[in-house]
């Protein structure tokens, strides 16, 4: 047994022994990846057709390899066949390379394990709408168990990009527009995935979501203060609080510096300030983009040198810049071998921590039992998440919940009988299977029409599509209007179809020019409304759309952010009243389609100011908004001190009460406003939240422990400070629904805080 195979030795000792035995070429091989026999006709990554060569297995693995790319997620393969193929490739590495080092196998897992037949959970934007980190952690643990069961070691999730412009195509992949919400829910995902022994990968570090014009890969003009106070905190939370094992760089450039070559972000901030000790992997071909797109490198070898120097350890998804070209550059003295060694140590450490180098490790499964990647337990979790994520935006009290004797319903709209509308762009049915129509969706996904008929067996339900999701075809308007006129209620279901690179209305590379509903869907809603029948508007989308026109006159409005395989059941349950809605908006819903970008995190001049601009950016529905079928009351606000030192802590509590006649869950939200500061600050920002389930008539006390660090911001000097002065505390049901408030004072000297500051607000519910 070689010393690096001995699990009784320390990890550092094992790494040192193994590196001493490695040649330079074997070291460099550990920094590369292999995408063997990639489905190059596909569109699962940017520039795949240019860079992917369908690597020959023998060539790719002759010196060993760092990662194996998407054995399960590239082309359709059953779980059992994928497990066999992956084991064969690992066996090849063990038996046919000099040192026999296995690879890390990575896969996408944004809405579940992205492979044929695996459960598809709601999109991350829906996770944000739950405001329920514990439930998201349970989901991530289930995803991790499924991946580990077939030999996968690393998942390329979660996305911690904070939404800055809702037109961006990848909004569906994010957790919302508030850094604290994104950080709390994203960190919970990290904990869950890694509890199953699968490494979580934070992406996209950093700035990707702040691109100019919300265009994919476009330059980012965010200043250092926006970067520090809005973009970076979720990543810091997931590193410091969640112990994330991997980070993936952003494609974009920030103020002209491509992130893939930015040593300040990838080494000084990430490692030296935050203490990250995991592995940085490149987003697919982002190292090549330093040459071909950013044009800061003259050839692949220089692109590789820039990335390695900045702190990228492994090139994904294939090896173009870290292979022979990097080997030559080191031998010619163009880059120090110590930089190679630095990255190799990190990769080998991770392989040891995963158990891949333990004596007796074998890639073959311990059992030949067939793998089920969509068991009932997964579907139960998917349904719970979907139910918690549905947001009731408006309700006149008469339309919803649906009456037991509903009479007749006209179910109208392009998303009403389309199960794909519930699935995100990184779900396998929308990501890969459109190229394999003979396989269908690979799992059971009831549409809303299917689910509503099952939910309301005694109700006459007539479906009319009305129009497609995109295009200007209005030929179905007349039938839709007629169906509405002849029914007691019209449920109009509009929204998105997720896709990739222009193949949908939401998803990677599917950016929007404005926030109007795609195609002629808004006109369809208006046509149906003209029939005079009460209308329930249901929006199933990957981003918030402007509803100032479509929602006018609607009896109720419901928002679902691509709620996954059980989305039909969840929506039907909310409409019928079987499920009491509890979702809250992780992004505000605008009234009009223009005046973008705009989020709730703005200083006074970033909002609507009478007499200053003719553009009104007041949202139709605010961040954190969400109604219920019951009513909640807030009272008995207590704050344990009127003043607190700049290094002190406050206890804020209130009583929340269910004043209605049915059980429900309220998300109590704590906001603060810093009215006088060195720099322009947001008029309100989320600093704490708690989901509180309540029976009819029940009350519970919610207590927040708010440390002064949670008021910190980046001052004029560029350092993060806690400043003495007045702070307004606000508690309520949304950023615009403040029920209780109190002013407190921070006292003492201005305090400079670093990466040891408090990042979270503990909360107790009694």
Does 367 map to a domain? no
Neighbours of 436 (CB within 10 A): 15
| Contact assessment for residue 308 and residue 260, using Cβ atoms and an 8 Å cutoff | no
Closest CA to 142 of 441, 377, 388, 423: 377
| 120 within 8 A of 375, measured Cβ to Cβ | no
Q: Is the distance from CB of 412 to CB of 490 less than 8 angstroms? A: yes
Average pLDDT over residues 502-509: 95
pLDDT at 54 over 50: no
Are residues 318 and 436 both part of a single domain?
no
Q: Using an 8 Å Cβ cutoff, are 174 and 162 in contact?
A: yes
**Other CB atoms within 10 A of residue 81 CB:** 13
Sheet of 685-694: strand order equals 643-645, 737-747, 725-734, 664-673, 685-694
> Mean per-residue pLDDT for 42-66?
64
Q: Judge if 555 and 650 occupy the same domain.
A: no
Helix (H) or strand (E) holding 739: strand 737-747
Q: pLDDT by residue (tens digit) across 325-359?
A: 999 999 999 999 999 999 999 999 999 999 999 99
Whether 159 and 296 share a structural domain: yes
User: Is 162:230 a contact under the CB 8 Å cutoff?
Assistant: yes
Strand partners, 727: 744
Domains identified in the chain, total number: 3
Could you tell me if 318 and 193 lie in one domain?
Answer: yes
Question: 250, 231, 113, 249: which is closest to 183 by C-alpha?
Answer: 231
> Which helix (H) or strand (E) covers residue 376, if one does?
helix 376-389
Q: Residue 588: which of 546, 553, 623 has the closest Cα?
A: 623
pLDDT at 36 over 90: no
Cα–Cα dist 679/545, whole Å: 31
305 and 421 share one domain? no
List pLDDT tens digits, range 734-754: 999 999 999 999 999 999 999
CATH number of residue 690's parent domain: 2.60.40.10
* Residue at 128 is within a domain: yes
Residue 373 belongs to some domain of the structure: no
Residue 63 domain flag: yes
For residues 721-753, one letter each, b for 16 or more C-beta atoms within 10 angstroms of the residue's C-beta and e for the rest, the string is bbbbeebbbbbbbbbbebbbebebebeeeebeb
Asked if residue 86 and residue 46 are part of one domain, the reply reads yes
The alpha-carbon radius of gyration of the chain (Å, integer) is 26
Give the Cβ contact number of residue 390 at 10 Å.
Answer: 28
Q: Are residues 58 and 100 in the same domain?
A: yes
> 439-473 as b/e, with b when 16 or more CB fall inside 10 Å?
eebbbebbbbbbbbbebbeebebbbbbbbbbeeee
- Claim to verify: residue 285 and residue 323 sit in the same structural domain: yes
Query: Residue 627 falls within a domain, yes or no?
Result: no
CB atoms inside a 10 Å sphere around CB 75? 18
pLDDT in tens, 534-556: 999 999 999 999 999 999 999 99
| Mean pLDDT value across residues 698-714 | 98
Tens digit of pLDDT for each residue in 186-238? 999 999 999 999 999 999 999 999 999 999 999 999 999 999 999 999 999 99
Check if the beta carbon of residue 539 is closer than 8 Å to that of residue 495: yes
493 in a structural domain: yes
pLDDT recorded at residue 611: 74
Closest CA to 77 of 38, 109, 33, 32: 38
Would you say residue 317 has pLDDT above 50?
yes
Mean pLDDT score, 95-122: 97
d(CA 634, CA 200): 38
Distance CA 348, CA 364 (A): 21
Q: What is the DSSP letter of 266?
A: I
Shared domain for 112 and 247, answered yes or no, is yes
> What digits encode the pLDDT tens for the residues 386-401?
999 999 999 998 899 9
- The alpha helices in 171-299, defined as continuous H runs, are 179-195, 224-226, 233-240, 263, 286-292
**Is the model more confident about 415 or about 403?**
415
Looking at the fold, whether 592 and 660 belong to one and the same domain comes out as no
Mean pLDDT in the chain? 95
33 and 137 in a single domain? The answer is: yes
* pLDDT confidence band for 478 (50 / 70 / 90): very high
Residue 142: phi and psi, rounded to 5, are -65, -40
d(CA 402, CA 96): 65
With respect to residue 24, please indicate whether it lies within any of the assigned structural domains.
yes
Residue with the two structure tokens 């109009």: 492
Would residue 370 count as lying in a domain? no
Between strands 535-540 and 489-495, the pairing is parallel
Examine the pLDDT at 44 and tell me if it is beyond 70. no
- pLDDT value of position 415: 98
Sheet containing strand 649-658, strands side by side: 632-639, 649-658, 699-707, 763-765
How high is the pLDDT of residue 457? 92
Select from 625, 425, 629 the least CA-distant residue to 544.
625
The helix-helix angle for 11-21 and 337-353 (nearest 10°) equals 130
Crossing angle of the two packed helices 337-353 and 324-331, in degrees rounded to 10: 130
23 sits in the region (left: phi over 0; alpha: psi -120 to 50; else beta) called beta
**CB neighbours (10 Å) of residue 41?**
9
Provide the CATH number for the domain around residue 492: 3.40.50.1700
Whether residue 706 is predicted with pLDDT greater than 90 in this model: the reply is yes
50 pLDDT more than 60: no
Strand, helix or coil at 574? helix
Peptide bond into 189 cis (omega under 30): no
What is the spatial distance between Cα 389 and Cα 124, in angstroms, rounded to a whole number?
Answer: 10
Q: Is 473 left (phi over 0), alpha (psi -120 to 50) or beta?
A: beta
Query: What CATH number did the domain enclosing 206 receive?
Result: 3.20.20.300
Nearest to 756 by CA among 718, 717, 705, 722: 722
Query: What is the token pair recorded at 330?
Result: 């080191």
* Residue ranges making up the domain that contains 702: 632-765
The predicted pLDDT at position 606 comes to 85
Helices (H), 215-353: 224-226, 233-240, 263, 286-292, 300-310, 324-331, 337-353
125-159 pLDDT, tens digit per residue, is: 999 999 999 999 999 999 999 999 999 999 999 99
pTM for the model = 0.96
Q: Tell me what percent of the residues of the chain surpass a pLDDT of 70.
A: 96
List, for residues 258-310, the tens digit of each pLDDT value. 999 999 999 999 999 999 999 999 999 999 999 999 999 999 999 999 999 99
Which of 194, 208, 224, 128 is CA-nearest to residue 164? 208
Separation of alpha carbons 656 and 669, rounded Å = 11
Same domain as 702, residue 754: yes
- Reference 74, options 101, 35, 23, 47; nearest CA is 35
End-of-domain residue from the set 542, 572, 606: 606
**Residues pairing with 464 in the sheet:** 412
């Amino acid at each position: 047994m070689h010393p690096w195979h001995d699990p009784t030795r320390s990890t550092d000792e094992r790494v040192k022994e193994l590196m001493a035995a490695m040649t330079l070429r074997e070291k460099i091989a550990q920094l590369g990846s292999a995408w063997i026999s990639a489905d190059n006709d596909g569109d699962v990554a940017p520039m795949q057709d240019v860079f992917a060569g369908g690597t020959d297995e023998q060539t790719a693995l002759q010196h060993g390899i760092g990662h194996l790319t998407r054995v399960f997620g590239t082309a359709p393969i059953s779980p059992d066949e994928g497990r066999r193929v992956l084991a064969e490739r690992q066996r090849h590495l063990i038996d046919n390379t000099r040192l026999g080092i296995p690879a890390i196998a990575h896969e996408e897992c944004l809405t579940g394990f992205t492979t044929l037949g695996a459960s598809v959970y709601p999109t991350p934007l829906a996770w944000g709408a739950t405001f329920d980190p514990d439930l998201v952690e349970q989901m991530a643990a289930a995803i991790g168990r499924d991946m580990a069961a077939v030999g996968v070691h690393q998942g390329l999730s979660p996305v911690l990009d904070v939404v800055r412009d809702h037109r961006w195509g990848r909004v569906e992949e994010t957790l919302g527009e508030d850094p604290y919400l994104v950080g709390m829910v994203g960190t919970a995902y990290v904990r869950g995935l890694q509890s199953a022994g699968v490494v979580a990968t934070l992406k996209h570090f950093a700035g990707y979501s702040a691109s100019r014009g919300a265009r994919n890969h476009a330059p980012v003009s965010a200043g250092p203060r926006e970067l520090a106070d809005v973009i970076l905190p979720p990543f810091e939370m997931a590193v410091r609080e969640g112990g994330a094992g991997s980070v993936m760089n952003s494609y974009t450039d920030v103020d002209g510096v491509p992130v893939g070559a930015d040593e300040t972000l990838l080494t000084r901030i990430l490692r030296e300030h935050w203490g990250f000790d995991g592995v940085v992997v490149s987003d697919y071909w982002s190292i090549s983009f330093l040459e071909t797109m950013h044009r800061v490198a003259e050839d692949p070898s220089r692109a590789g040198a820039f990335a390695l120097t900045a702190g990228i350890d492994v090139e994904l998804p294939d090896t173009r810049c870290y292979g022979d070209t990097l080997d030559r550059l080191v031998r010619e003295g163009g880059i120090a071998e110590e930089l190679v060694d630095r990255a190799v140590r990190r990769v080998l450490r991770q392989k040891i921590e995963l158990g891949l180098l333990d004596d007796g490790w074998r890639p073959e499964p311990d059992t030949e039992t067939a793998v089920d990647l969509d068991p009932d337990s997964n579907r139960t979790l998917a349904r719970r998440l979907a139910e918690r994520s549905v947001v009731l935006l408006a309700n006149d009290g008469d339309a919803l919940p649906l009456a037991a004797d509903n009479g007749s319903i006209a179910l109208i709209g392009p998303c009403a009988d389309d199960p794909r509308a519930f699935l995100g762009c990184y779900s396998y049915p929308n990501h890969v299977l459109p190229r394999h129509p003979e396989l269908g969706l690979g799992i059971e996904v009831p549409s809303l029409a299917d689910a509503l008929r099952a939910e309301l067996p005694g109700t006459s339900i007539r479906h009319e599509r009305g129009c497609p999701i995109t295009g200007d075809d209005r030929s179905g308007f007349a039938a839709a209007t007629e169906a509405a006129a002849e029914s007691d209620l019209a449920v109009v279901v509009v929204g998105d179809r997720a896709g990739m690179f222009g193949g949908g209305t939401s998803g990677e590379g599917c950016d929007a020019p404005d926030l109007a509903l795609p195609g002629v869907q808004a006109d369809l809603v208006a046509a149906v409304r003209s029939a005079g029948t009460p209308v329930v508007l249901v929006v199933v989308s990957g981003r918030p759309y402007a509803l100032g026109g479509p929602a006018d006159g609607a009896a109720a409005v419901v928002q679902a952010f691509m709620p996954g395989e059980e989305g039909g059941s969840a929506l039907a349950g909310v409409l019928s009243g079987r499920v009491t809605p509890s979702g809250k908006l992780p992004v505000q819903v605008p009234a009009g389609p223009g005046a973008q970008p705009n989020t709730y995190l703005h200083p006074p001049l970033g909002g609507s100011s009478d007499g200053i601009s003719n553009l009104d950016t007041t949202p139709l529905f605010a961040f954190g908004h969400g109604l219920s079928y019951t009513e909640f009351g807030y009272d008995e606000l207590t704050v344990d001190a009127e003043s607190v030192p700049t290094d002190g802590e406050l206890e804020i509590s209130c009583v929340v009460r269910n004043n209605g006649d049915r059980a429900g869950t309220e998300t109590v939200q704590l906001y603060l406003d810093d009215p006088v500061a060195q720099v322009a600050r947001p008029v309100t920002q989320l600093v704490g939240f708690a989901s509180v389930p309540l029976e009819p008539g029940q009350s519970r006390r919610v207590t927040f422990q708010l440390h002064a660090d949670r008021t910190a911001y980046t001052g004029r000097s560029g350092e993060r400070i806690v400043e003495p002065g007045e702070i307004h505390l606000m508690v309520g049901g949304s950023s615009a629904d403040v029920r209780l408030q109190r002013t407190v004072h921070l006292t003492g000297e201005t305090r400079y805080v670093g990466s040891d500051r408090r990042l979270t607000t503990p909360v107790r519910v009694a």
